[in-house]
């Protein structure tokens, strides 16, 4: 795939993935088209050499893998991991607020969101709804209102003259999006809107909505921008870029060795959940992949394995160059960034760093490195958690971006293709053995 092709395909994936549920659905569709067979965690697995499989959990996390040839398990597994969730505004269970006849929906802040970019955007709502059918059964559906149905207006500067002087934002009192203006005496609830949308999406058997997990998102599509088209602007680049790229690389890699991708949910809120990296999802799949082998064999398998934890990195922002260490300021469009931290907020070791550098050189891809300034705290990824949970050597890497956790982030348009190239090579080779 050319750089432009992969960028366009990725942008439409991101546009169709306003929530982790949709992000997983998009990967599933892609894997299915590439001949991957769906597994169910509750059924017996009968994995075949050279088979291709995927399995989801809670519709918000997914693992896909290619089983290698007969003897490939002795070469371990090449794993690439990313996360499906992004910081956002999540609708509360009983969200209706009516003030001056405006119907607003109360929200919780999910993850470490930058709040100010959420104001003055055309917002829509998407997620998963669980309902009872007309036949009394439980059912669930993904919904996406798609149209801009909500807005969080800023307060006019005339009503707050200090607005440009570092004003604090209170998410409880200042951020409930306005959804509609009620006519006097009119009563409408979120359930009415959900019901309406389910019908519009041809779910005609809804008797009662029982629960919802709905996230607001900005409807502006992601785009290739800049005078010379050198940048990608969009929501959820952290970390749907990585979800897309590792899936693409898995599909395009050579067969023969065993390769796996894992896209966890709940990274932005600490990973401790049934679908998070600190949960048992990956270990459970790895154990089933190695079959009924003794623990001794599983340990040998993990010893031979390596993981790329793929999550965006902080590019050095031209207006804030002092926020980066002088020698470790990743530049957009200059290739994948290897992330290191002495205190193990990233899982990269000297060995895994060397393996990744060597892979990049083998395929002619430039690479960079990032460490946080020594006087600033460091973020983290699923890398250290996964590495500690299943005992896999890991390297943390990512595409450089600006504005991480904003409602719209910026990346380099050449970096997607470069990252895909290295990861495809990673799956095809056994550089570290």
CB of 388 to Co ion, least distance (A): 18
What is the total count of residues that contact Co ion (CB under 5 A)?
3
Cis bond leading into 239, ω under 30°? yes
Q: How far is CA 20 from the centre of its chain?
A: 7
Q: Which of 152/310 has CB closer to Co ion?
A: 310
Positions 279 through 338 that interact with Co ion (CB under 5 A)? 311
Beta-carbon-side half-sphere exposure of residue 415 (alpha carbons within 13 Å): 30
Nearer to Co ion, 239 or 413 (CB): 239
Quote the least distance from Cβ 245 to Co ion, whole Å.
Answer: 13
Residue pair 151/177 in contact by the 8 Å Cβ criterion: yes
Task: Kindly list the strands in the beta sheet with 52-57, ordered across the sheet, starting from the edge strand earlier in the chain.
Answer: 37-38, 52-57, 61-66, 258-264, 77-83, 306-310, 393-398, 337-339, 368-370
CB of 86 to Co ion, least distance (A): 8
Q: Of the ranges 108-116, 210-218, 236-244, 293-301, which one interacts with Co ion (CB under 5 A)?
A: 236-244
Q: Which is nearer to Co ion, 238 or 248 (CB)?
A: 238
Q: Is 424 helix (H, G, I), strand (E, B) or coil?
A: helix
Q: Is 238 in the site for Co ion (CB under 5 A)?
A: yes
Tokens describing residue 384: 């250290």
CB of 381 to Co ion, least distance (A): 6
**What are residue 97's phi and psi, to 5 degrees?**
-125, 130
Give rounded-to-5 percent helix, strand, coil for the chain: 30, 25, 45
State the minimum distance, in angstroms, from the CB of residue 73 to Co ion.
31
Kindly tell me which of 22 and 212 has the beta carbon lying closer to Co ion: 22
Nearest approach, Cβ of residue 237 and Co ion (Å): 9
Pairwise CA distance, residues 228 & 74, whole Å: 47
Q: Considering only 41-49, 237-245, 287-295, 417-425, which stretch makes contact with Co ion by CB under 5 A?
A: 237-245
111, 86 in Cβ contact below 8 A? yes
- 239 binds Co ion per the rule CB under 5 A: yes
Q: Which one of the spans 215-223, 235-243, 370-378, 413-421 is the region binding Co ion (CB under 5 A)? A: 235-243
Question: CB 405 → Co ion: shortest distance, Å?
Answer: 8
> 347: which DSSP letter?
-
- Does 425 engage in binding with Co ion (CB under 5 A)? no
> Which string of x and - marks every residue 141-160 that binds Co ion (by CB under 5 A)?
--------------------
- In the bound state with Co ion, the residue whose beta carbon lies nearer, of 179 and 372, is 372
Name the token pair of 4.
Answer: 């432009």
Instruction: Say how far apart CA 200 and CA 273 lie, in whole Å.
Output: 33
CA atoms within 13 A of residue 4's CA, in its CB half-sphere = 3
For residues 18 to 47, the per-residue mask of contacts with Co ion, x marking binding by CB under 5 A and - elsewhere, is ------------------------------
Residue ranges binding Co ion (CB under 5 A): 238-239, 311
């Amino acid at each position: 795939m050319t750089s432009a092709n992969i960028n366009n395909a990725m942008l439409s994936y991101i546009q169709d993935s306003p929530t982790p549920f949709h992000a997983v659905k998009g990967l599933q569709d892609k894997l299915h088209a590439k001949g991957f067979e769906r597994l169910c965690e509750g059924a017996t697995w009968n994995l075949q050499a050279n088979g291709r499989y995927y399995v989801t959990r809670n519709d918000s996390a997914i693992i896909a893998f290619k089983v290698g040839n007969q003897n490939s398990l002795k070469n371990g597994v090449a794993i690439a991991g990313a996360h499906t969730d992004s910081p956002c505004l999540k609708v509360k269970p009983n969200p209706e607020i009516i003030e001056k006849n405006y119907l607003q929906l109360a929200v919780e802040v999910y993850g470490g969101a930058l709040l100010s970019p959420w104001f003055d955007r055309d917002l829509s709502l998407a997620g998963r709804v669980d309902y009872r059918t007309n036949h009394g059964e439980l059912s669930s559906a993904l919904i996406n209102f798609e149209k801009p149905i909500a807005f969080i207006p800023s307060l006019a500067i005339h009503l707050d003259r200090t607005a440009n002087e570092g004003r604090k934002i209170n998410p409880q009192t200042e951020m409930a999006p306005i959804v509609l203006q009620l006519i006097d005496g009119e009563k409408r609830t979120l359930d009415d809107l959900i019901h309406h949308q389910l019908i519009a999406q041809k779910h005609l058997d809804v008797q009662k909505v029982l629960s919802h997990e709905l996230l607001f998102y900005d409807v502006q599509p992601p785009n290739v921008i800049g005078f010379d088209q050198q940048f990608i602007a969009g929501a959820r680049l952290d970390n749907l870029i990585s979800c897309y790229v590792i899936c693409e690389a898995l599909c395009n890699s050579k067969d023969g060795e065993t390769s796996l991708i894992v896209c966890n949910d709940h990274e932005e809120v600490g990973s401790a959940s049934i679908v998070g990296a600190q949960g048992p999802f990956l270990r459970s799949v790895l154990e089933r992949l190695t079959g009924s082998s003794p623990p001794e064999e599983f340990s040998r398998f993990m010893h031979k394995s390596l993981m790329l934890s793929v999550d965006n990195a902080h590019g050095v922002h031209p207006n804030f160059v002092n926020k980066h260490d002088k020698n470790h300021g990743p530049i957009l469009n200059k290739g994948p960034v290897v992330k290191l931290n002495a205190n193990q907020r990233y899982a990269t070791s000297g060995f895994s760093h060397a393996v990744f550098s060597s892979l990049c050189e083998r395929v002619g891809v430039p690479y960079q490195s990032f460490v946080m300034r020594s006087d600033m705290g460091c973020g983290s990824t699923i890398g250290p958690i996964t590495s500690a949970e299943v005992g896999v050597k890991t390297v943390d890497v990512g595409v450089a971006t600006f504005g991480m956790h904003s409602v719209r982030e910026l990346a380099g348009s050449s970096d997607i293709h470069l990252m895909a190239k290295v990861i495809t090579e990673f799956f095809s080779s056994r550089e570290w053995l």
